Amino acid sequence: MSTKVTLTVEDLTLAIQNSINNKGMDEEQAYALAKHILNFFGYSDRIIDNILEPEDRDAFYMLEDTGILTTEREETTLYDGREWRIHYWLFRRERIIELMSSLDQTKTEDVAESVYGDLPDDIWKRGK
């Protein structure tokens, strides 16, 4: 049986920073957005849509565009026969992990380039 790893603010911050539509979002803004979003979810992967205010829903739609969040709906029949739809927001953990690892790889490549970029080409030749 697999255990679910808790999504941290830092994890979501990395994913937001590396998402396609949020390139250029600084770490402070991404952290604030991640914290705001996680305050709705707590330790759950799913929340009901009707708890959101319009401004919050806008942020959720933005994260849906990046693949971090997705929606689902459930239909039920009320006692009087009417159909009722309940809309939910869900984390897409696999996408978040993918975005986190992409950012880590990009940072590693940037560090490698910055460390070796200023060295002259002949530094790698062995002297006799």
Domains (ranges, CATH) in the chain? 9-110 (1.10.10)
Distance (Å, rounded) from C-alpha 87 to C-alpha 93? 19
Distance (Å, rounded) from C-alpha 62 to C-alpha 56? 10
Is the pLDDT at 86 greater than 90? The verdict is yes
Q: Is the dihedral of CA 95, 54, 50, 13 positive or negative?
A: positive
Report pLDDT for 101.
83
pLDDT, averaged across the chain: 83
Is the pLDDT at 10 greater than 80? The verdict is yes
Report pLDDT for 1.
45
**pLDDT level of residue 2 (50, 70, 90 thresholds):** very low
Choose among 10, 16, 1: nearest CA to 62.
16
